[in-house]
Amino acid sequence: MNAPRNIGSKLPPPMAVLLELTHRCPLQCPYCSNPLQMDQVKSELSTAEWKSVLDQAAKLGVLQVHFSGGEPTVRQDLAELIRHARDVGLYTNLITSGVAASKARFDEMAAAGLDHVQLSIQDSDAETAEKIGNYSGAQAKKLEFAKWVRAAGLPLTVNAVVNRHNIDRVGAMIDLAVSLDAHRVEIANVQYYGWALKNLGALMPRFDQFEASIATVDAARARLKGKIVIDYVVPDYYARVPKACMNGWGRRFMNITPAGKVLPCHAAETIPDLKFDSVREMTLAEIWARSSAFEAFRGTDWMPDPCRSCDKREIDWGGCRCQALALTGSAAEADPACGLSPWHEKLRGMAEAASQAAAPEFQYRRITPAKPSTSESAKTSGTAEPVAG
C-alpha cells in the first residue's frame, strides 16, 4: 500500500461522508452540483450496498453521514438507511429540497433517528424560486416540510444559493429562515463548475449587488444575534482569498455517487484523467488510504508556485481544484479566486462583464445518459478549456 502523502505518517479518518443516494430530483436548478452526465436509476447502489457503505464508514471512524442527491427522499429505503446509520453510531443529516416526501414518509425518517435537516430554498419570492427550480408549487411544499421538521423537534438549517436573480433578497431569505424557526441559514453564492458554469451568464451577480448583500448579512447578524446562525459563502470571483475547499482534498471528506464511485469532492468528476474507485470493487478504507484520485491533490506536494512557496498552503490547500480546472484549464493551478493567481484579474473582469450583460435563459439541469467510462465522461462533463484568457 502506498503511504498517504504529506499529511502525517498516519492518515486520519474522514470526518464526514456524503451519500448521493440518487441523481433523480423533481427540481432542475441551473446551478445543481450534480455532474452534467448523471447516474441512471438502474445503476444506483441497492439498499444492501448502501448499508455496507454505512458499516464501513463507521468502522473507518467517520462521524457524520449526509444523505443527499439529487433528491434523497425519492429513495423509498431512506428511512431504513437512516435507521441503519444510527444503529452503527453515525450522526445523520438529510439534505433535501423538501418537495418529494409525504408527511407520513417524513415521520418515518424522524422515527428512524434522523438528527438534522438541511432544507434548500431557491428564493424567498415564490415566483422566482419556482422559476429557478423549474417546479411549480415547490415553495408551498418546502414551507410545509419545514414545519414538519420543527414539529418533530429536529434542528433545521435553511440552505439558499444566491445568484443575480435573488441576491437582492438575501435579507428576505434570512427572515424567511427565522420565520421557519431554523437554527441556521447558509447563504452561499454559486460556485462555477458543471451546471453552474454552463449557466454562468444567467447566474453571475454584479459586484454592487454582492457588496449590498454583505451589508445586509452584517446587519442581520447584529439584529438576529442569539436567534439564528447566519453563514455567508461569498462568491469566488469577487474574493481575493480562496476557500479551503473540502477542508483540503482528501483530508476530511468523501462523496459517494449513486453508482458507488468515491470522490474527494462532489465535482471531482469534472477533472479529466482522475480514476475514481468504486465501493463495488474496493472497501471504503482502501479507497480512503490509496485511491489515486484522493492521492492526486492530497497534502501540498502536488502544488506548483505560487502555492508551493506560500505560507497559506496548509490553510486553504490551494483552494478548489475543480474551479482551477474549469477556469484555467489545469487542476493543479492555484484557485483563480486567489489574488496571487495570474488568472485572478482576468476572471474578475470576465465576471463583471457577464454580470452586466443581459441574463440569458437558464439551461436547466436534466438527466442524460451516462458516458461509458470515467475518462470519457470527464472530457465532456467539465470544461478542460480555460474560460478566461
CB of 139 to ligand SF4, least distance (A): 13
As a whole number of angstroms, the distance between CA 256 and CA 277 comes to 10
CB of 227 to ligand SF4, least distance (A): 27
Of the pair 220, 338, the CB lying nearest ligand SF4 is at 338
Of the pair 208, 311, the CB lying nearest ligand SF4 is at 311
Amino acid letter for position 150: R
As a whole number of angstroms, the distance between CA 14 and CA 364 comes to 33
| Pair 173, 215: CB distance under 8 Å | no
Of the pair 216, 235, the CB lying nearest ligand SF4 is at 235
- Residues whose CB is less than 8 angstroms from the CB of residue 240 and which lie 6 or more positions away in sequence, other chains included: 337, 338, 339, 344
- Where do contacts with ligand SF4 occur on this chain (CB under 6 A)? 25, 27-29, 32, 34, 69-71, 97, 120, 133, 242, 306-307, 310, 312-313, 316, 318-319, 334-335, 338, 340, 365
CB of 285 to ligand SF4, least distance (A): 29
Of the pair 120, 383, the CB lying nearest ligand SF4 is at 120
Of the pair 9, 368, the CB lying nearest ligand SF4 is at 368
CB of 20 to ligand SF4, least distance (A): 9
- The per-residue DSSP string of 173-239 comes to HHHHHHHTT-SEEEEEE---SHHHHHTHHHHPPPHHHHHHHHHHHHHHHHHTTTT-EEEEE--GGG-
Handedness of CA 328, 333, 337, 341 (dihedral sign): negative
Q: What are phi and psi of 299, to 5 degrees?
A: 75, -145
Task: Tell me how crowded residue 377 is: count the other CB atoms within 10 A of its CB.
Answer: 18
CB of 317 to ligand SF4, least distance (A): 7
CB of 226 to ligand SF4, least distance (A): 30
Of the pair 170, 334, the CB lying nearest ligand SF4 is at 334
Of the pair 195, 253, the CB lying nearest ligand SF4 is at 195
CB of 100 to ligand SF4, least distance (A): 10
**Could you give the 3-state DSSP secondary structure of residue 26?**
coil
Estimate the share of the chain in helix, then strand, then coil, as percent rounded to the nearest 5.
40, 10, 50
CB of 1 to ligand SF4, least distance (A): 29
| Pair 167, 216: CB distance under 8 Å | no
The length of the chain, given as a count of residues: 389
| Pair 343, 327: CB distance under 8 Å | yes
Of the pair 17, 239, the CB lying nearest ligand SF4 is at 239
